[in-house]
Chain A
Amino acid sequence: MKVLLLVIQLCLIENAFGEGKVIYEYKKYEKFDLGNLEVQGELIAPGDISVRERDRKKFNLDFFERKDFNSFVKQDIEAFR
Chain B
Amino acid sequence: MKWMVFLALLGTSSVMAKPLHETYFEKKYYYSALNEFFFETYNKPITEKVVNKLEEILFFTGVEILEDYDEDLLLKYPSSSIRFIIGRKYYQRGHTKKALKYLENIHPKHRYFPEAKMVEAQVYFKMGDKSKEESAVTKCVKSASVLESEAANEKIARYYKMIEEVCLINAARNSFTRGEYNQALANYEKIPKTSYKWPYVLLEKAWVHYQLKDYNRALGLLSTYKSPLLDTYFFPEAEYLSALAYFRLCLYDDSLIILNEYYQSYRPRFAQLHKVLSRHKKSRTFFYDALVEEADGFNANEEFVKKIFTRIKKQIRFSLDSNTIYKLNKEINTIHAKESKEVQLELMPHLADVRENIKTKINYNAKKDIFDFLQTVPMYSAELFKLNLEIVSRKRDLVYKSSELAVDKKKRTRGEFANVKRSSTEHFWKFEGEFWADELGDYSLGLKSRCNEVKVEDK
Contact = CB atoms under 8 A, between A and B. Distances in A.
Contact of B173 (A60, A69, A79): A69
Given A59-B389, A76-B170, A67 B315 contact: no
Contact of A66 (B207, B247, B317): B207
B230 to A, nearest CB: 18
A58 interface: yes
B210 A73 contact: no
Interface centre among A56, A68, A70, A77 (most CB of B within 10 A): A77
Given A67-B177, A72-B173, A81-B63, A61 B390 contact: yes
B316 interface: yes
Interface residues of B, number: 41
A80 interface: yes
B273 interface: no
Contacts of A75: 372
B169 A76 contact: yes
Contact of B122 (A59, A67, A73, A79): A73
A29 interface: no
A32 interface: no
A78 B317 contact: yes
Contacts of B119: 77
B13 interface: no
A28 interface: no
Contacts of B88: 81
B330 to A, nearest CB: 21
A58 to B, nearest CB: 7
Contacts of B379: 64
B contact face: mostly helix, strand, loop, or mixed? helix
A68 B177 contact: yes
Contacts of B162: 80
Interface residues of A, number: 23
Given A56-B400, A57-B393, A80 B317 contact: yes
Interface string B412-426: 000000000000000
A16 to B, nearest CB: 62
Contacts of B389: 59, 61
B191 interface: no
Given A63-B387, A80-B316, A73 B173 contact: yes
A77 B114 CA distance: 12
Query: What's the dominant secondary structure at chain A's contact region?
Result: loop
A14 to B, nearest CB: 66
A73 B63 contact: no
Given A59-B390, A64-B383, A77 B118 contact: yes
A69 B393 contact: no
A39 to B, nearest CB: 39
A65 interface: yes
Nearest to A69: B173
20 contacts: A56-B397, A59-B393, A61-B387, A63-B386, A64-B383, A65-B211, A67-B177, A68-B173, A68-B176, A69-B177, A69-B207, A73-B122, A73-B170, A76-B166, A76-B169, A77-B118, A78-B317, A79-B316, A81-B63, A81-B316
5 smallest A-B Cβ distances: which pairs?
A: A69-B173, A68-B177, A66-B207, A61-B386, A79-B315
Given A63-B390, A78-B317, 19 more contacts: A58-B393, A59-B390, A63-B386, A64-B240, A64-B383, A65-B211, A67-B177, A68-B177, A73-B170, A73-B173, A73-B174, A77-B91, A79-B315, A79-B317, A80-B115, A80-B162, A80-B316, A81-B88, A81-B320
